[in-house]
Structure 1
């Protein structure tokens, strides 16, 4: 009996491993087929996350339209992608200059985006601007600049491209937001406010465009690791919040987020959190037990 048990256990583990492997392969193949030949627009493609999203979608055979503020950096990204690609299964990316924080120029850039292929299947709103500081030290001008980059920019691009999706009754809008769109963090009031506004807008949009078969997804990571925290003695980073929001060293790796964006598009997920259990628990507590979250000596430290 003991020998039989000894033999059965490895077989069970091997069988489970095989099932997991097969499942992952099926998901990978589905993700690949879901974006092949699709027109995918990535804003701020020259950022760390933008580059990884470009790499992932390009490798899967998407027709990329890469947007960024600097033509030189866009050209470098273009060259890097085609240098490692198989031309028989990939398409040469098209490039569009776009400064998401310059609202007056967004509509013209959106028209240029649509002119590339005549349509957009997937729009990935990736551009973002970060800021940290006490509320009283951040000028109203800077507040507006953050709101332009993180809220008005993405919704302006979306509004310009949305009619094309609605008329074709197909499309997918993905927003790379942040967990701070659900949960405010000290010394990031302007940033969190812009992300809360973005969350609210695209939640409403999802409900409005469902009848037109247009999907809306929000991907909420914690900090993306390319963003470096600057530690200063006595500030909030020395408090519970540093532990509260960390994942790995300084957040989620851009590769991890890019791969999740691909899965989100293939499965049409509505909302995704990329975080360890602690930030996820914080969102739950903030939503259902605010008196606990804000209590004296509680989460606010």
Structure 2
């Protein structure tokens, strides 16, 4: 009896581990099947997240259209994808030169994208520009450039490809945004403004296209960190702001976000936040206790923290 009791716990843990492993494998295969043979357009495919999405979707059998503003880097990505995937189970990616800061060319690029396969099943709006600094130090020209890349560029491309989805009554548009589309933090005026704007656009669009069976999804990480691990420097003193911001600044790895994008497409989810509990709580604090939130944010400006940039 005692031996049986002793063995129960290890056997139970082993069984749970086995079930979790099977679930993860089934979920991974199911996610890949959701994009198999689908035409997937990825903007800024040469960024860290763009590369991971490209790798994941290519392995899943998607017909990729990779967009970026640097042709040489697109070709490097193209070669990398072909070298690691089974050519009998994948499609050769199409490359399209796209610079969202040049709004005048987006319509022509959209036509080029549609000419690749004749349709678009999934559009992943991943391109973004970041900037950090006091509002008075950011020129109006830079404000406009950020709005072009983070707002006008993506919505122009979306509007150009949307009629194809509506006419076919199928499609999904994924916006990779940022948690700052929900609230702003110091020294990010232009960036946060652009993220608020595009969040509002896609929230409205989601309701407008639902009757056409077009899904609109938004992914909101805190920020997308680089491949190297961020390590803190300096001494952190005890304060509400420093505790809040220390938790806020741990970003999400591109691999994790790419996998979440794949899950969102499979599940057709509308909105996902990828963050630790502190930034998620900040959204609700901003909504229900705005004065407290603004006081904490103001302390951050006074202490002049040096934090990593957002995507």
Which residue is 1:6 aligned to? 6
Which residue is 1:95 aligned to? 95
Q: Does 1:147 align with 2:147?
A: yes
Q: Per-residue displacement from partner, 1:140-190 (whole Å, max 9, x unpaired)? A: 111111000000000000000000000000000000001111120100000
Which residue is 1:243 aligned to? 246
Contact 2:227/2:253, CA 8 A, preserved across alignment = no
Root-mean-square deviation over aligned CA pairs: 2.0
1:1-301 superposed matches below 5 A? 1-226=1-226, 240=242, 242-247=245-250, 251-294=251-294, 296=295, 298-301=296-299
Cα distance between partner residues in 1 of 2:169 and 2:217: 17
Cα distance between partner residues in 1 of 2:89 and 2:233: 49
Shift of 1:72: 1.2
Where 2:66 maps in the other structure, the secondary structure is: strand
Cα distance between partner residues in 2 of 1:20 and 1:115: 43
Cα distance between partner residues in 2 of 1:129 and 1:160: 21
Where 1:73 maps in the other structure, the secondary structure is: helix
Cα distance between partner residues in 1 of 2:14 and 2:183: 41
Deviation larger for 262-271 or 170-179:
262-271
Where 1:300 maps in the other structure, the secondary structure is: helix
Where 1:273 maps in the other structure, the secondary structure is: strand
- The total of aligned residue pairs comes to 292
Deviation larger for 183-192 or 4-13:
4-13
Deviation larger for 262-271 or 86-95:
262-271
Cα distance between partner residues in 1 of 2:291 and 2:93: 50
Shift of 1:119: 0.2
Where 2:298 maps in the other structure, the secondary structure is: coil
Shift of 1:43: 0.4
Q: Per-residue displacement from partner, 1:255-286 (whole Å, max 9, x unpaired)? A: 11111111111111111111111111111211
Cα distance between partner residues in 2 of 1:136 and 1:64: 42
Cα distance between partner residues in 2 of 1:82 and 1:259: 20
Contact 2:185/2:297, CA 8 A, preserved across alignment = no
Q: In 2 relative to 1, CA 106–22 (structure 1 residues): closer, same or farther, beyond 3 Å?
A: same
Shift of 1:299: 4.7
Q: Which runs of 5+ in 2 are unaligned?
A: 300-311
